[in-house]
């Protein structure tokens, strides 16, 4: 449905990727760990290697969770923009198909939050 | 049974004769005192009559004065010089 | 003809509002009233609209003046007697901070836009009602500022609400809702604010919360709240009458109005997430839970309203069922989110004490112990260990309501975050719910312009990349206005006033 307006409607895409100074926005969330209430948003260079997400980006938010130290990256299930996803840690976000405003979720079937409560 | 209409007034001295008039003129009204306010509910229709409030207050009361102590209401409003009423049509 | 000495109410109202307008001759009417046709709402006869209160200008001034006298007498005596010392706990004042930052600027926005409507509707009766409402809204804004200015002398975070309203991340939620309405046509605005917000939802803000203020010893707030609400009852009536008027005027209006009701119910309801947590968490003693208030003021009362409106072909707003299912989760999720991000907020958060936790268990038997108590107990443990939990980054926001994406699939899996995505011109847009997704997809041109606070920080438009830079841009004093309540300057002052021994206070209040 098109917008109903008096005159021509000016199109302004406030969050076009060009506005982020070479970065793209990536959202990351750890499923069933809702004491982090929402996915975290990051401005990241598309050329950043996926491995850096695991080593730097993800721990910057989630390492304070008591289950974090039990987390084994080789047992993690990934979902990228609602599709199952197997990352290649050696290549860039872009080459992994992670785009501007992509949502990346990781699921740890053995770790289900504090007392199994999803928190 | 018809849906409830409601009227909420501040719980103060001005509201007392209004509540007494409502109790007298609306047999099905229920009156619930909550912190700072009084919530009055009634199935279908609730009326506040000028004559009744005037009598309880001992001084003429204009339905427009309801504005002063009104907190909230629900229902279609019918107001004239002699009464203020709330109702659902169904 | 017998002439009555005094006109009755109907006549007085007719004299005031009828025959005051005229058809223009040297400019076409459509040029003089350029905004009231493009939405497609068809009005055959403007005189069909009538204010059921039949309030004339002389009685308007008379009663408003009387309300003001009463209110200011109380505000004065409250300030003179240091009434702030009588509230149940210093934590309570944080609800007032959110009120002055998030609600008072809306009153001002409403004042501005009802003035616009008071000029631009073609019918003079409708214009008079909008003009009175415009004055009311300015009064609300002023009385709230006056009342809360007393608290501003003694508590942090209330010093610059209008500046904050335009910049701070969580205040973009009410701001974007109002601006969505203000940038629409006059019929959409009035359906949004007068009906979906004021009739359907403001009881939830002004009635149980203000009653809660009374319950917590805040005489000043309950007085301005109820004084504003007495005008609100008139505004609600305007909302209901305008809806009935629009659908009666032409059959083509019905689907447009229903669409507006659906959209703005959901927009306004999302804003009320803030009220839900004020009610359940920020009132130290809560006379009524958010869920109880929702059952009474939405499920029951709005059920009655829409039963009545069904004769016009109108139905309950879309996704009412989702909102009702969310009532058992909303305050817990919202409070959790602010607990995560309170380092960037101009008010404090804290973990509920044992008594409050038990109250929450009792009021939310299906959800609190299962989903939220374990979370809170974990946070309390972290506090005791000196590692109070903060989210050390920024959250993903909903493109429509701008709230962090923390809502969950309450109908199926309450611990699964609810996320929707839309593609528009090659870009992804994330929304928190079917309600917000529908709104986005109906008007993507409008919502791709959203000033999302998190993305604006990333784009370098909010003072810098560090939290300190952003807080400066917000006019928020770091270490005073933000962070945990326990140990805050507000908390320390409260303890001094009350002569409380600091040793008695644990980190969990």
CA distance C407 to C418: 6
- Residue labelled with tokens 């139905």: C315
Section A51-62 average pLDDT: 97
- Chain B, 23 to 82: residues with Cβ < 8 Å from chain C are 34-37, 64-65, 67-81
Q: What pLDDT is stored for residue C502 in this prediction?
A: 57
Q: What pLDDT is stored for residue A76 in this prediction?
A: 97
Kindly state the DSSP code that residue C315 receives in the 8-state scheme: -
- Closest-CA residue of chain B to C224: B71
Q: Which residues of B touch C205 (CB under 8 A)?
A: none
Q: What pLDDT is stored for residue C478 in this prediction?
A: 97
Q: Is ipTM beyond 0.90?
A: yes
CATH topology of domain B4-77: Phenol Hydroxylase P2 Protein (3.90.56)
For chain C, helix, strand, coil in percent to 5 are: 65, 5, 35
Q: Does B89 touch chain C (CB under 8 A)?
A: yes
pLDDT tens sequence across C290-335: 999 999 999 999 999 999 999 999 999 999 999 999 999 999 999 9
Q: What pLDDT is stored for residue C219 in this prediction?
A: 87
Cβ contacts of C207 within 8 Å, gap of 6 or more: B8, B37, B71, B72, C229, C293, C297
Section C26-41 average pLDDT: 96
**What's the token pair of residue C488?**
């805050």
Residue C327 lies in a domain: yes
Answer yes or no: do B68 and C67 touch at CB < 8 A. Answer: yes
Residue C380 lies in a domain: yes
Answer yes or no: do C211 and B79 touch at CB < 8 A. Answer: no
- Residue C5: pLDDT band (50, 70, 90) is low
Q: Which residues of C touch B67 (CB under 8 A)?
A: 53, 63, 67, 230, 234
Q: How many residues does chain C have?
A: 509
Largest CA distance in chain C: 88
Per DSSP bridges, beta strands A40-44 and A83-85 are unpaired
- The CA distance from C24 to the nearest CA of chain B, in Å, is 34
Q: What is the DSSP string of C412-427?
A: TEEEEEP-EEEEETTE
Within a 10 A sphere around the Cβ of C9, how many other Cβ atoms? Answer: 19
Q: What is the mean pLDDT of chain C?
A: 93
% of residues, chain C, pLDDT over 70: 97
Residue C83 lies in a domain: yes
Q: What pLDDT is stored for residue C459 in this prediction?
A: 98
% of residues, chain C, pLDDT over 90: 83
User: Which chains have at least 3 CB atom pairs separated by less than 8 Å from chain C?
Assistant: A, B
For chain B, helix, strand, coil in percent to 5 are: 30, 40, 30
- Residue C417: pLDDT band (50, 70, 90) is very high
Number of domains in chain C: 1
Q: Which residues of C touch B64 (CB under 8 A)?
A: 53, 55, 59, 63
Answer yes or no: do B36 and C207 touch at CB < 8 A. Answer: no
pLDDT tens sequence across C433-454: 999 999 999 999 999 999 999 9
Q: How many residues does chain A have?
A: 119
Within a 10 A sphere around the Cβ of A97, how many other Cβ atoms? Answer: 13
Answer yes or no: do B68 and C222 touch at CB < 8 A. Answer: no
- The CA distance from A47 to the nearest CA of chain C, in Å, is 17
pLDDT tens sequence across C213-243: 999 999 889 888 888 888 888 888 889 999 9
Kindly state the DSSP code that residue A100 receives in the 8-state scheme: T
Q: What pLDDT is stored for residue C95 in this prediction?
A: 96
Answer yes or no: do B73 and C236 touch at CB < 8 A. Answer: yes
pLDDT tens sequence across B15-57: 999 999 999 999 999 999 999 999 999 999 999 999 999 999 9
- The CA distance from A93 to the nearest CA of chain C, in Å, is 17
- In the structure, do chain B and chain A come into contact, i.e. share 3 or more CB pairs under 8 Å? no
Q: What pLDDT is stored for residue C48 in this prediction?
A: 86
Q: What pLDDT is stored for residue B50 in this prediction?
A: 97
Q: In what order do the strands lie in the sheet with C394-395?
A: A83-85, A77-80, A102-107, A24-30, A40-44, C394-395
Answer yes or no: do C375 and A114 touch at CB < 8 A. Answer: yes
CA distance C22 to B11: 45
Domains and CATH numbers, chain A: 22-116 (3.10.20.560)
Among C273, C272, C284, CA closest to C360: C284
Q: What pLDDT is stored for residue C59 in this prediction?
A: 85
Residue C484 lies in a domain: yes
Q: What pLDDT is stored for residue C18 in this prediction?
A: 73
Torsion angle, CA of C492/C494/C499/C505, rounded to 10 degrees?
Answer: -60
Cβ contacts of B30 within 8 Å, gap of 6 or more: B40, B41, B42
Q: Give the rounded distance of the alpha carbon of C9 from its chain centre.
A: 34
- Residue C509: pLDDT band (50, 70, 90) is very low
- Least CB-CB distance to A12: which of C38, C396, C449? C449
CA distance C126 to C245: 11
pLDDT tens sequence across A9-47: 988 999 999 999 999 999 999 999 999 999 999 999 999
Alpha-helix runs per DSSP H in A1-119: 50-52, 58-62
Residue C501 lies in a domain: no
Q: What pLDDT is stored for residue C15 in this prediction?
A: 77
**What's the token pair of residue C361?**
């268990």
- Least CB-CB distance to C391: which of A21, A36, A66? A36
CATH code, domain carrying C141: 1.10.620.20
Q: Which residues of C touch B61 (CB under 8 A)?
A: none
E strands, chain A, are 24-30, 40-44, 77-80, 83-85, 102-107
Residue C120 lies in a domain: yes
Per DSSP bridges, beta strands C413-417 and C420-424 are unpaired
Question: Would you put residue C23 in left (φ > 0), alpha (ψ -120 to 50) or beta?
Answer: beta
* pLDDT over 90 at C342, yes or no: yes
Section A53-78 average pLDDT: 96
- Chain C, 204 to 223: residues with Cβ < 8 Å from chain B are 206-207, 210-215, 222
Task: Report yes or no: C449 and A12 within 8 Å, Cβ to Cβ.
Answer: yes
* pLDDT over 60 at C90, yes or no: yes
Answer yes or no: do B35 and C305 touch at CB < 8 A. Answer: no
Helices C172-182 and C253-271: crossing angle in degrees, nearest 10, is 160
Cβ contacts of C25 within 8 Å, gap of 6 or more: none
Q: Which residues of A touch C451 (CB under 8 A)?
A: 14
Section C182-191 average pLDDT: 96
Answer yes or no: do A37 and C337 touch at CB < 8 A. Answer: yes
* pLDDT over 70 at C13, yes or no: yes
- Closest-CA residue of chain C to B72: C233
- Closest-CA residue of chain C to A4: C39
Q: How many residues does chain B have?
A: 90
Residue C491 lies in a domain: yes
**Total CB pairs under 8 A between chain B and C:** 97
Q: Does A102 touch chain C (CB under 8 A)?
A: yes
Q: What pLDDT is stored for residue C227 in this prediction?
A: 85
- Residue C508: pLDDT band (50, 70, 90) is very low
**What's the token pair of residue B65?**
């004065």
- Least CB-CB distance to C304: which of B4, B36, B70? B4
Q: What pLDDT is stored for residue C289 in this prediction?
A: 97
Rounded (5°) CA angle C213-C495-C480: 80
Task: Report yes or no: C299 and B80 within 8 Å, Cβ to Cβ.
Answer: no
- Residue C507: pLDDT band (50, 70, 90) is very low
- Residue A68: pLDDT band (50, 70, 90) is very high
- The CA distance from B70 to the nearest CA of chain C, in Å, is 5
Torsion angle, CA of C203/C209/C210/C212, rounded to 10 degrees?
Answer: 140
Between residues C42 and C200, the one the model is more confident about: C42
Q: C94: domain range?
A: 46-390+467-496
pLDDT tens sequence across C467-483: 999 999 999 999 999 99
Answer yes or no: do B68 and C70 touch at CB < 8 A. Answer: yes
CA distance B82 to B64: 10
Q: What is the mean pLDDT of chain B?
A: 94
Q: What pLDDT is stored for residue C480 in this prediction?
A: 97
- Residue B90: pLDDT band (50, 70, 90) is low
CA distance C119 to C116: 5
Name which of A8, A15, A66, A104 to mutate to probe chain C: the one with the most chain C Cβ atoms within 10 A of its Cβ.
A15
Between residues C129 and C401, the one the model is more confident about: C401
Residue C492 lies in a domain: yes
Q: Which residues of B touch C288 (CB under 8 A)?
A: 34
């Amino acid at each position: 449905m098109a917008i109903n307006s008096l005159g021509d409607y000016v199109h302004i895409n406030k969050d076009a990727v060009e506005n982020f100074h070479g970065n793209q926005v990536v959202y990351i969330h750890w499923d069933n760990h809702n004491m982090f209430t929402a996915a975290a948003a990051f401005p990241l260079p598309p050329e950043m290697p996926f491995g850096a997400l695991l080593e730097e980006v993800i721990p910057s938010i989630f390492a304070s969770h008591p289950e974090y130290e039990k987390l084994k990256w080789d047992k993690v299930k990934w979902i990228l923009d609602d599709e199952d996803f197997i990352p290649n840690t050696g290549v860039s976000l872009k080459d992994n198909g992670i785009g501007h405003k992509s949502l990346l979720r990781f699921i740890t079937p053995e770790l289900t939050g504090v007392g199994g409560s999803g928190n | 049974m018809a849906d409830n209409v409601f009227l909420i007034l501040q719980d103060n001295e001005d509201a007392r004769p209004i509540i007494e008039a409502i109790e007298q003129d609306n047999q099905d009204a229920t009156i619930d005192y909550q912190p700072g306010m009084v919530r009055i509910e009634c199935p279908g229709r609730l009326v506040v009559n000028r004559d009744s409030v005037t009598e309880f207050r001992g001084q003429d009361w204009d339905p427009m004065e309801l504005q002063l102590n009104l907190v909230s209401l629900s229902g279609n409003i019918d107001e004239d010089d002699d009464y203020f009423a709330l109702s659902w049509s169904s | 003809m017998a002439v009555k000495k005094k006109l009755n109410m109907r006549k007085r109202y007719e004299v005031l509002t009828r025959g005051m307008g005229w058809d223009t001759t040297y400019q076409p009417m459509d040029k003089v009233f350029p905004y009231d046709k493009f939405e497609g709402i068809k009005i055959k006869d403007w005189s069909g609209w009538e204010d059921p209160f039949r309030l004339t200008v002389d009685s308007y001034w008379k009663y408003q003046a009387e309300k003001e006298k009463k209110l200011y007498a109380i505000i004065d005596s409250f300030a003179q007697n240091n009434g702030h010392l009588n509230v149940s706990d210093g934590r309570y004042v944080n609800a007032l901070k959110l009120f002055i930052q998030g609600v008072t600027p809306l009153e001002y926005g409403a004042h501005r836009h009802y003035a616009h409507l008071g000029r631009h509707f073609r019918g003079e009766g409708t214009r008079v009602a909008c003009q009175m409402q415009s004055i009311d809204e300015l009064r609300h804004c002023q009385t709230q500022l006056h009342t809360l200015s007393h608290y501003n002398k003694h508590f942090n975070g209330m010093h610059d609400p209008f500046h904050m309203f335009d910049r701070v991340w969580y205040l973009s939620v009410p701001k974007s809702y109002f601006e969505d309405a203000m940038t629409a046509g006059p019929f959409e605005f009035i359906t949004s604010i007068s009906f979906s917000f004021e009739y359907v939802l403001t009881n939830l803000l002004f009635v149980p919360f203000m009653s809660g203020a009374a319950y917590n010893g805040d005489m000043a707030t309950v007085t301005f709240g109820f004084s504003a609400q007495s005008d609100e009852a008139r505004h609600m009536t305007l909302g209901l009458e305008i809806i009935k008027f629009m659908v009666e005027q032409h059959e083509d209006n019905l689907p447009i109005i229903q669409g507006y009701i659906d959209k703005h119910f959901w927009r306004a309801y999302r804003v009320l997430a803030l009220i839900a947590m004020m009610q359940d968490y920020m009132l130290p003693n809560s006379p009524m839970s958010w869920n109880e208030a929702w059952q009474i003021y939405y499920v029951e009362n709005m059920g009655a309203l829409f039963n009545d409106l069904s004769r016009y072909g109108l139905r309950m707003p879309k996704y009412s069922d989702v909102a009702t299912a969310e009532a058992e989760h909303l305050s817990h999720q919202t409070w959790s989110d602010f607990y995560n991000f309170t380092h960037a907020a101009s008010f404090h958060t804290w973990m509920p004490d044992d008594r409050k936790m038990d109250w929450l268990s009792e009021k939310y038997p299906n959800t609190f112990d299962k989903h939220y108590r374990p979370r809170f107990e974990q946070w309390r443990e972290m506090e005791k260990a000196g590692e109070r939990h903060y989210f050390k980054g920024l959250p993903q926001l909903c493109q429509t309501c701008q709230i962090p994406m923390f809502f969950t699939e309450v109908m199926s899996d309450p611990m699964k975050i609810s996320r929707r995505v839309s593609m528009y011109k090659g870009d992804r847009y994330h929304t928190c719910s079917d309600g917000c997704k529908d709104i986005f997809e109906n008007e993507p041109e409008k919502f791709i312009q959203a000033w999302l606070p998190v993305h604006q920080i990333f784009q370098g438009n909010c003072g810098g990349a560090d939290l300190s830079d952003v807080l400066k841009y917000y006019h928020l004093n770091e270490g005073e206005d933000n962070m945990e309540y326990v140990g805050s300057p507000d908390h320390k002052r409260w303890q001094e006033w009350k002569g409380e021994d600091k040793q008695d206070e644990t980190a969990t209040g």
